[in-house]
Amino acid sequence: MISEIANGLQVPLISYAATDPTLSALQFPFFFRTTQSDLYQMAAMANLIDFYGWKEVIAIFVDDDYGRNGISALGGELDKRALKIAQKFPLPIHFDLNNITDTLNKSKLMGSRVYVVHLNPDPKMRFFTIAQKLQMMTSNYVWLATDWLSTTLDSSSSLSKTSLHILQGVVGLRQHTPESSQKRDFLSRWRKMVDEEGSASSELNTYGLSAYDTVLTVAHSIDKFIKEHRNITFSFDDGLLKMNSTKVQLSKLRVFDGGSLLRGKLLKTNFTGLTGQVQFNEDQSMVSGSYDVINIDDQIAVVGYWSNSSGFSILAPENLKSEENNNSHLDQKLKNVTWPGGSKERPRGWVIADDERPLRIGVPYRASFVDFATKLNNSHKMRGYCIDVFLEARKLVPYYVPYIFEPFGDGHSNPSYNDLVQKVEDEVFDAAVGDIAIVTNRTKIVDFSQPYATTGLVIVAPVRNSKSSAWVFLKPFTVEMWCVTAASFIMIAVVIWILEHRVNDDFRGPPKRQLVTMFLFSFSTLFKTNQEKTVSPLGRMVMVVWLFLLMVVTASYTASLTSILTVQQLSSPITGIESLVASNWPIGYQVGSFSYSYLADTQNIARSRLIPLGSPEEFARALQQGPTNGGVAAIIDELTYVELFLSKHSEFGIIGQPFTKSGWGFAFKRNSPLAIDISTAILKLSENGELQRIRERWFCKKGCPGEGNRHAEPNQLHLISFWGLYLLCGIFTIGALLAFLLRMICQFARYKQQQRESSHPSSVSSNAHCSHVISSFLNFIDEREEAIKKMFQHDNRQEQIR
């Protein structure tokens, strides 16, 4: 209100105590302040909270403009750092002990244990006296006070040890005033006034130093104004009539004619006072924004400093070098702090629950698949696989977590898991433990732990055994594989016959006999019962490579055929989710499962096609009836349930692979620290094998479900898996054949040369000569190797005789 009047009269208003951050120079151009705006103080407080890693705080403040606007500024600063005020508790302006007691008792119901207290100076320390009586000054709590506390302490001429003991562990802020000889001399004179003269009743706090600098600022500015303009004049202004809406007779007041000129003089203020550099910024507040961080134990200790340019440091802002200012945000430091209760270890800053208010955990009261989670009959105890996982994880949480399980559902049908998760968001439950799938719409309202079980949606349908077939022996190989294998047998038969025909009597004789021998030899290599033996070195080399290839192919064929004959092959007219969606068949889903919303909303399946099923017995009955007899064509459910169902119903099977990927986790309220600690515990359980042992304890007494039910149809053996072997065999075979032909050509050339030397040349046409040579070459190859050698030996002796 005074700022409005100052605007109208154009008289500068200078305050050394108004820290309200909403007092803006844009709204009040004639308002100045020689103290720090709470924008700086709340930035320092938010930085302090972030420095120690706390995520939520409780704000207690006096319910006036100073308190409300200050805490609002704190909320804005916390938002910048992804932190928040969990709850705000206002106190009346003239609060009493009952108000404090009621407020603190309400705050104890909250999870956060970090308090920011923003009050007016209180010499009796009523607030912390009540906090101590309520046992809230212990090591579980964190108390952060704005500069009202340092103002109170600095103003007291003598503090008893009892008063300081009440404040043990409190961390507060105090406006920083640099040390100087001017300040020391002034404080010395002031203490003399207090102790000897009695003209002062209390010590000076930072606001007192600011008041002194304010008087100097006004004096210097008016002095300059008078020296320049000589006199001060006032005049009437019709604009004041518009402001005359109150009982204040503003119309009788006069406007300062030199207001704007004096305002200009104030803006140029620049001198060193008791509080340091006195200079106004664009918002007409002090340029420098820095605070001492104080910690109270047996005495008031400064544990560090904060400035708006460098953050936290153990050096005073005026002692920091320029290069340290540039990098100080990367390496912020404070001295060791004593926390409430005398603890030197940083408090956690929150509690999940206590014995008076244990953690309320909602557990699905299932009617089917009760091995996962349900309530014991005639008791309030919960049991199941999911419960055991949570209890084991809780043992690894490094603090005490009292809890109570509260069943959700009536036990006659499975509850809606979406409703259970919604109860956590609505704070009906603090957490939810059970077989809760982690899906997108749920992660938007709660925080989930690390998944402790992997699952996904699968299709279950009736299956028939397709392993019996008269032509099952052809299935291990593809058509291409069969064709290449048959061609290889023929090639080996031909090549071995060529290589062995001249030297091996087993491969000679009438053409019919040779043809039969050639192919019998090749195919009998499958059984290693060859009556014929290879004699030539090239033939033996080819046989080594061929038998190696045959060994690998035969072993692979045997393994594949064994798999086909021993593993049940599942077949169904449904091939996957696409064919199921495209059909008009009814589809079953488990009551309470997220599969209903997935099918209806994501796959756009008509809701009339979706049939709710509540138990494994209903699963089996609906599948057996089929879509034409009032049943369903298939059921879509989570893999973990399906594995348990199939372990008792072998006439059904899983079609294809899971078409969604998800997991089960425990749900917590948003930003719950327990979610992180439980996730860490689940990872430890997984790493040490305890998670698997819990599963085996519940589901593997007669063999783990799923191990014998998810056999995909064995893949046929494709040519691509053996092309390297076939290529190697082909290279050796063709190489041996080329070596044989090269040797034959050389022998034939020598043979023809000896013939020309022993006979007269005959004149025949070139075509007839070519045919004659080819015919001679074939006949030459058909000759036995021994006959050729004898002929060459005979010709050599005759030549020697000549």
Query: Could you read off the pLDDT of 647-674 as tens digits, one per residue?
Result: 888 788 888 788 888 899 999 998 888 9
> Who has greater pLDDT, 310 or 241?
310
Among 395, 391, 389, 420, CA closest to 407: 420
pLDDT higher than threshold 60 for residue 415 = yes
pLDDT higher than threshold 80 for residue 752 = no
CA pair distance 128, 114, nearest whole angstrom: 14
CA pair distance 450, 676, nearest whole angstrom: 8
Among 145, 146, 150, CA closest to 177: 150
Per-residue pLDDT, 762? 52
pLDDT higher than threshold 80 for residue 161 = no
Per-residue pLDDT, 117? 97
Given pLDDT bands bounded at 50, 70 and 90, which one contains residue 113? very high
Q: What is the mean pLDDT of residues 722-730?
A: 88
Given pLDDT bands bounded at 50, 70 and 90, which one contains residue 417? very high
Q: What is the DSSP letter of 415?
A: P
Per-residue pLDDT, 239? 64
> Who has greater pLDDT, 796 or 765?
796
Give the lowest-confidence range in 249-253, 470-474, 654-658, 734-738: 249-253
Give 613's strand partners.
590
CA pair distance 397, 502, nearest whole angstrom: 85
CA pair distance 531, 537, nearest whole angstrom: 18
Per-residue pLDDT, 323? 45
Residues 242, 248, 249: CA angle, nearest 5 degrees: 70
Per-residue pLDDT, 711? 42
Per-residue pLDDT, 214? 93
Give the lowest-confidence range in 67-71, 530-534, 566-570: 566-570
At 475, list the tokens.
């299935």
Q: Hey, CA dihedral for 729, 732, 738, 741, is it positive or negative?
A: negative
Residue 778 CB-density burial (10 A; 0-12 exposed, 13-18 middle, 19+ buried): exposed
Per-residue pLDDT, 512? 82
Torsion of CA 167, 16, 312, 77, to 10 degrees: 90
Q: Are 644 and 615 in contact (CB under 8 A)?
A: no
Q: Are 656 and 459 in contact (CB under 8 A)?
A: yes
Given pLDDT bands bounded at 50, 70 and 90, which one contains residue 712? very low
pTM recorded for the entire structure = 0.64
Give the lowest-confidence range in 233-242, 245-254, 258-267: 245-254
Q: What percent of the chain has pLDDT over 70?
A: 85
Residues 203, 205, 210: CA angle, nearest 5 degrees: 125
At 487, list the tokens.
């061609």
Q: What percent of the chain has pLDDT over 90?
A: 33
Per-residue pLDDT, 802? 54
Residue 627 half-sphere exposure toward CB, CA atoms < 13 A: 16
Given pLDDT bands bounded at 50, 70 and 90, which one contains residue 437? very high
Give 235's strand partners.
255
At 695, list the tokens.
């599963």
Per-residue pLDDT, 392? 94
Residue 169 CB-density burial (10 A; 0-12 exposed, 13-18 middle, 19+ buried): buried
Round the average pLDDT of the chain to a whole number and report it: 84
**Do strands 453-455 and 382-383 pair parallel, antiparallel, or not at all (unpaired)?**
unpaired
Among 435, 158, 419, CA closest to 300: 158
pLDDT higher than threshold 90 for residue 561 = no
Residues 486, 491, 493: CA angle, nearest 5 degrees: 95
**Do strands 587-590 and 634-638 pair parallel, antiparallel, or not at all (unpaired)?**
parallel
Per-residue pLDDT, 709? 46
Of the segments 57-71, 394-408, 724-738, 769-783, which one has the largest average pLDDT value?
57-71
Give 204's strand partners.
none
At 779, list the tokens.
């006949």
Give the lowest-confidence range in 484-488, 567-571, 691-695: 567-571
Give the lowest-confidence range in 82-91, 525-534, 740-749: 525-534
Per-residue pLDDT, 44? 95
Per-residue pLDDT, 91? 96
> Who has greater pLDDT, 331 or 12?
12
CA pair distance 663, 455, nearest whole angstrom: 5
CA pair distance 622, 250, nearest whole angstrom: 88
Among 41, 23, 39, CA closest to 31: 23
Per-residue pLDDT, 557? 85
Per-residue pLDDT, 50? 94
Q: What is the mean pLDDT of residues 739-764?
A: 69
